[in-house]
């Protein structure tokens, strides 16, 4: 992996951790929710990805954390497929969190707006990785 892609992957991880979530009477980055998730009472957590904004916070946080771990591992193993899968997993977590954005939910709009840097950088890495994978596949087929 070139330094350009490694730096881009690290920037994606940082911006994903800094996505803002509105909960209660305040706002916090998603990394705080990822750290607090194991310490919350299980009966207070709703794992409903398509429920209300508050109900989808826990499942979206868990899915994004899994995507972050996959991207971290893929960055160090230089595995293109795992990087692509990790980006898709993080996008799915963001989708679960902001699925009500077109129904007028202000918190979903706020979260989506704070996720803009993550979305731009992850789309760039996704396109770079797809292009690199297709070129590698084409080179492998020419050698045969």
On the 0-12 / 13-18 / 19+ scale of CB atoms within 10 A, 127 is: exposed
Instruction: Classify 28 as helix, strand or coil.
Output: strand
* Location of structure tokens 């591992």: 73
Domain boundaries, given as residue ranges, for the chain: 3-134
User: For residue 59, what pLDDT is reported?
Assistant: 87
Q: What is the spatial distance between Cα 117 and Cα 19, in angstroms, rounded to a whole number?
A: 9
Mean pLDDT per 10-residue segment, the chain (144 residues)? 75 93 84 82 69 82 93 88 94 91 85 94 93 80 64
User: For residue 1, what pLDDT is reported?
Assistant: 46
Residues 6+ apart with CB under 8 A from 73: 79, 82
User: For residue 140, what pLDDT is reported?
Assistant: 66
Q: What is the spatial distance between Cα 131 and Cα 42, in angstroms, rounded to a whole number?
A: 43
Residue among 5, 6, 11, 1 at smallest CA distance from 117: 11
Confidence (pTM): 0.85
User: For residue 2, what pLDDT is reported?
Assistant: 52
Q: What is the spatial distance between Cα 85 and Cα 114, in angstroms, rounded to a whole number?
A: 22
């Amino acid at each position: 992996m070139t330094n350009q892609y490694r730096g881009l992957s690290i920037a994606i991880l940082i911006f994903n951790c800094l996505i803002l979530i509105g909960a209660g009477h305040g706002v916090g980055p998603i990394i705080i929710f990822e750290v607090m998730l194991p310490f919350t009472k299980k009966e207070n957590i709703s794992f409903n990805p398509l429920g209300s904004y508050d109900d989808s916070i826990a499942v979206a946080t868990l899915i994004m954390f899994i995507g972050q771990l996959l991207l971290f591992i893929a960055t160090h193993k230089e595995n293109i497929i795992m990087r692509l899968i990790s980006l898709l997993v993080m996008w799915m977590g963001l989708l679960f969190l902001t699925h009500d954005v077109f129904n007028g939910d202000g918190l979903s709009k706020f979260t989506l707006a704070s996720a803009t840097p993550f979305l731009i950088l992850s789309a760039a890495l996704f396109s770079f990785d797809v292009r690199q994978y297709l070129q590698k596949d084409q080179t492998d087929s020419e050698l045969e």
